[in-house]
Amino acid sequence: ITFAVNVRGVISLSTALPPITEALTLTGPGASELAVERASSAPDFRVFDNNSDGVALSVSGLTIRNGRVSGSTGGGIRSRGPLTLDGVHFSGNSADRGGGVDQLFHDAVIRNCTFSNNIAFNGGGYFFQGNGGRLTRINNSTFSGNRSR
């Protein structure tokens, strides 16, 4: 999914999006141009949910904010497959683990991203649990103001 260049502002979600069940690439015009968020009046849910083992997710050029889950993981993104993030800003997300992103059992590449003011019991901004040599590669990214309770 590539958002048109003229799609700007905020996509405010009042209900959760369907879970990601097949490989998906989301390309936005830039994190300062387009945000996808859980509406403040909405019930708790994560913004993007890739709970399908091995399904690849790639996100670029977006802000992901205000995702919130209690008793679960990944307020902004929960990922159980290979994950690539480029130019994504995560802000104000919360969960029990991985407030911004919870990444399990697959490699991840994070480039040019910002994780700010996300909250979790473990991994305020980002939580990674590898399995059998899996890695997260982080380049040119900033983590600030995230909290683990």
Taking only the tens place, the pLDDT of each residue in 34-77 is 999 999 999 999 999 999 999 999 999 999 999 999 999 999 99
Residue 85 near residue 113 (C-beta atoms within 8 A):
yes
Residue 63 near residue 30 (C-beta atoms within 8 A):
no
Query: Sign (positive/negative) of CA torsion 23, 28, 31, 34?
Result: negative
pLDDT at 1 over 90: no
DSSP string, 67-101: -B-SSSB-SSEEESS-EEEES-EEES-EEEE-SSE
pTM of the predicted structure, to 2 decimals: 0.95
